[in-house]
Structure formats: structure tokens, C-alpha cells
Structure 1
Amino acid sequence: MIVAGCDVGSLTAEAVILKDSQVLTSKIMGVRATAEKSAMCVMDLALAQAGLKYSDIDACYSTGYGRQAIPFSQKNISEISCHGMGAYWADNSIRTIVDIGGQDCKVISIDENGLVQEFIMNDKCAAGTGRCLEVLAKALDVELHELGPLSQKARKPISLTNKCSIFMELEVMQHVYKKRKARDIAAGINNAVAKRVASLSRSVPLKPNFAITGGVSKNVGVVSRMEKLLGVNFTPLTVDPQIIGALGAAIFAQKENGNHD
């Protein structure tokens, strides 16, 4: 059985193809002008890599902000459910997932079957999201992927006092103007985002084991700081943590279309 999952978020789109309960291929790309175009582009890439056509897919489910606009999807499922199921599939010992995406962050508690028990979501403010990191990295004049490694070299991390991403950007610009070390500013940026997400996390019962998903999971500075703030260790997943939403969608497609492995 061949199933697929497609996750179209605010900054990236992901596609996962499963064959007989195993990941056949996955793709990640930046979003295009519309959710439909993003979905088509990323799925075309995944299908090409797997040597498949759309007609070879038995079922495809979608998730993410653009999930209702994906023409080749038979069903759309919330990203909260998909991140829970995807993380559980990657490691069935996981019970708490912190998902930091481009536009929001979520903390999800799941049961022994990978189903959501409780969750909390911050989607009212950009602070504590990938978009916030993107804006602050630009203010520091470094690439987004450089923030994590750069922050690890810090000796005197700066402190960002504002909780609003707009004012945080102004603070970063002031530190740049004062010629503070880029590594210390990068550490301050990552620490501020980690603190915001950690504060949100305490609103949900934190049960081991823990996983972190979404694009920000690749920022070692944010991840290591969150581990210290929460007193936990995030379990390394067997798949790219950025594809977990799309993977969860594919798992639901598999479960609801005849294969319950």
C-alpha cells in the first residue's frame, strides 16, 4: 500500500510517501505563492524521487495551514493530530511534543496510541516561532541556519527584554549598532525564543519522553536552551523532525484506508 501526506505551512511545505508502512521518500521546500502551488510542487518532487505518479498513491491526506486547498488530498487533518501521530510513529515512547513552526508553536500531550490528549497553542504572537527567528536573523545580518551554531560560541549572551517580536527586532538592531558580538546576540535571540516556548510548555502536563518537531527543531541553540529551562532531554527522532506533520498525515491515511500497522 502506498500513501502520502502533505503539510503546507506558513514558511515551508513537506511531502512524505509511505510504502508498506516505511518512509519511501520525503521532501521539504519553501512555500510558493499559494498553498495549492506549494503542495503540487513539493509532491511532484517527492513522486519524482520515488519514481511514482499521482495515480500510484492509494490515499493522500493533508495538514497545515494550507490543508484545505490541496487538490489531490482526500482528507485534511489538524496539524496538532498529525504531529502527535507522526512523532509517535517515529518513536512510540514519545508522550510530549513541542512543535515550533513558522507561524505558531504548540505543545502536545499524546496517549499510548499517539492520539492527542491535551495541547496548547500560541498563534496570537510571532514571538516564539520560526518567523520570529527569521526576522531577528535578518536584523543580525546572518542566515537563519547560522543562528544555532553561532549562538553556541557565545561568551556573554545579550538579554532581550521585550516579548513582542517587533520590539525584539529593534533591540537586536540596537545591539548591532553598539557592536556587540554577533555570537552573543545570536545566543540572546535563541534564549528569548526558547524562554517563550518553555513558558507555554508548562501549561500542559509534561510527560516523558519528549520530542521537538518543526523547522526550529534544527536550531541547536533553541533546543539546548529549552532542555535546560524545562529540565528535559528531547529524544532524537528516526526521521527529519521537520517532516513530522506530513508523516502524521500519511499515517492517518494508512490507518483509515485498510492498513492498520
Structure 2
Amino acid sequence: MFTLGVDIGSTTAKAVILQDGKDIVASSIIVATVGTSGVQRAVEDVLKQTNLTLSDIEATVATGYGRQTYDDADYQVSELSCHAIGAHFVFPSVRTVIDIGGQDAKVLALNEQGQLDNFVMNDKCAAGTGRFLDVMANILNLKIDDLEVEAAKAQHPAQISSTCTVFAESEVISQLANGTDIADVVAGICNSVATRVASLARRVGIREEVCMTGGVANNGGVRHALEHELGVTIAYDEKAQLMGALGASIYAFKKSLNK
């Protein structure tokens, strides 16, 4: 049995095809804003990888910010539930999930069965999100993937104290004008994200095992800063950005079994 999960985020579209609810046979990540052709391209990509068609898919679940925009979905499910399901699938012992996406940050508390117990999210400001990192990387004329490398070189991380992206941008420019090393500025940016997300996490309560999901999880600079801020080890998997789509596909499989 094949099931499809699509996660339509604010800046990327993700798709995962599962076989029998346990084997990932195809996945795709397309950089595109919600409301564009990104989700169709992601779905076409995973179907091409498997030589399947939509008629071969038993059920499809859409999740994420733009889940209501995908007409081929059989079900729409909250990204909170799907990230919880995906994280529990990859890390069966996980109790706290930190999900940092393009436009928001969420912290989920799970019970022993991997079900969502509680959550808190910040979607009012770009600070502490992938968008914040994109803006900062642009100021520094760096690629987003360079931030982890630069942060690792830091000797004296800069203090980026502004809680607003616009003011933080001015603060970073001032740091550079004063001759602060780029590596120290980047480390300060990563620490700034970690501080904001850690405050969310403490509101939920940190229970180990802790993992990160979402695109920002791929940034080791932020992950390591969060580990230091929270005093815990954060589990990481290369499928971090696919966790929502993976959880959606697992949900689709379970719904199919219960038909």
C-alpha cells in the first residue's frame, strides 16, 4: 500500500511516499511559497521517482500552512499532529519536538505514545525562524548553508539582543561596521534564534528526548546553540525538514487501515 503526505509550508513544499506505513520510497523538497506550483512539483517529483500515479496512492494527507490549497488531498491535518507523528516515527523515545520553519517556531510536548500533549508557538514575528536566518545571511552575503560553518569558527560570539528582525538587522550592520568578525556575528545570530526558541520550549517544559524538525534543524549552528541554551542533547536526523510530510503519510496509512 502506498500513501502520500504533502507538507505545504510558507517557503517550501515537501512530499513523502510511504510503502505499507514504514518504508520511505520517495521524498521531495521544493523551495516555493504557498499558493504557487511548489506542491504540484513536489508531488510530480515523488511520483516520478517511484513510477507511480495518483491512482496508485491509497490515501493522501495534506498538512502545513497551505494544506487547504491542495485539492487532491483526502484529508487535511494540522502540522502539529503531523510533526508529532513524524518525529515519533524517527525517534520513538522523543518527548519534546522543536520545529522551526520558515515563518514560525513551535515546541511540542509528546506523551509516551507519541501523541501531542501540549504545544506553544510563535507566529507573530519572524525572529527565531528560518526567515530571520535568511535575512541575516543576505546581510552577510552568505548562503544559508554557510552559517553553520561560520558559527563554528567564532571565538567571541556577538550579542544580538533585538527581538525584532528589523532592529536585529540594524544591530548586525552596526556590529560589522565596528569590525566584529563575521564568524562572531553569525554565532551571535544563531544564539539569538536559540534564545527565542528556548523561551518557547521552557513554557512547554523540556522533557528528554528532544529533537528538532523543520528546515532550520539542518543548521548545526542553531542546533548546537539550542543544546547549550537548554542544557540537553538534541537528536537530529537528515529527514528533519520532511517530518511533517512523513507524519502526514503515516496518518494517511492509518486512515486507510481503518476504512
Contact 2:16–2:242 (CA under 8 A) maintained in structure 1: yes
2:217 and 2:236 in contact (8 A); partners too: no
Is residue 12 of structure 2 the alignment partner of residue 12 of structure 1?
yes
Matches within 5 A, 1:172-191: 172-191=172-191
- For 2:225 and 2:15, the matched residues in 1 are separated by 29
Pair 1:41-2:15 in alignment: no
Residue type at the aligned position of 1:215: G
Cα shift readout 1:65-124 (whole Å, capped 9, x = no counterpart): 110000211111111111000000112111110000000000001122221100000001
Query: Which structure 1 residue ranges, 4+ long, deviate > 6 Å from structure 2?
Result: none
SS in 2 for 1:136: helix
Distance in 1 separating the partners of 2:202 and 2:212: 15
Conservation of the 8 A alpha-carbon contact between 2:12 and 2:34: no
SS in structure 1 at match of 2:102:
coil
Give the whole-Å Cα distance in 2 for the aligned partners of 1:158 and 1:206: 27
- 1:177 shift after superposition: 2.5
Match of 1:25 in 2: 26
Q: Which residue of structure 2 aligns with residue 146 of structure 1?
A: 146
CA distance in structure 2 between the aligned counterparts of 1:149 and 1:14, rounded to whole angstroms: 26
Alignment correspondent of 2:125 = 125
Aligned residue type for 2:254: K
What one-letter code is carried by the residue in structure 2 that aligns with 1:250? S
Q: In structure 1, the residue corresponding to 2:28 is in which secondary structure?
A: strand
Measured in 2, the distance between the counterparts of 1:123 and 1:245 equals 17
What residue number does 2:53 align with?
Answer: 53
The total of aligned residue pairs comes to 258
Which letter maps to 2:253?
A: Q
The TM-score with structure 1 as length reference comes to: 0.95
In structure 2, runs of 5+ residues without a counterpart are none
Structure 2 CA distance, aligned partners of 1:156 and 1:19?
A: 48
Question: Which residue is 1:196 aligned to?
Answer: 196
Could you give the per-residue CA deviations for residues 178-230 of structure 1, whole angstroms, max 9, x where no partner exists?
A: 33211111111111011110111100121111110101101111100100111
Looking at structure 1, the residues matched to 9 and 33 of structure 2 have their Cα atoms a distance apart, in angstroms, of 11
- Alpha carbons 2:9, 2:33 under 8 Å: kept: no
Shift of 1:234: 1.2
Contact 1:154 1:187 in 2 (8 A): yes
1:243 corresponds to which residue?
A: 242
Normalised to the residue count of structure 2, the TM-score between the two structures is 0.96
Q: Which residue of 2 aligns with 1:114?
A: 114
3-state DSSP of counterpart to 1:15: strand
Aligned mates of 1:225, 1:16 — CA distance in 2 = 30
**Alpha-carbon distance in 1 for matches of 2:23, 2:112:** 20
Aligned counterparts of 1:28 and 1:199: Cα–Cα separation in 2: 29
Q: Which moved more, 1:174-183 or 1:135-144?
A: 174-183
Counterpart Cα distance in 2 of 1:88 and 1:197: 21
Task: Tell whether the 8 Å contact from 1:8 to 1:31 is kept in structure 2 after alignment.
Answer: no
Conserved? CA contact 1:217–1:241, under 8 Å: yes
Query: Are the equivalent residues in 1 in contact too, given 2:10–2:33 (CA < 8 A)?
Result: no
Structure 2 Cα separation of the partners of residues 48 and 224 of structure 1: 36
Query: Residue 214 of structure 1 aligns with which residue?
Result: 214
- The CA distance in 2 between the partners of 1:194 and 1:53, in whole Å, is 42
Q: CA 1:33–1:78 in 2, change beyond 3 Å: closer, same or farther?
A: closer
Q: Which amino acid aligns with 2:210?
A: F
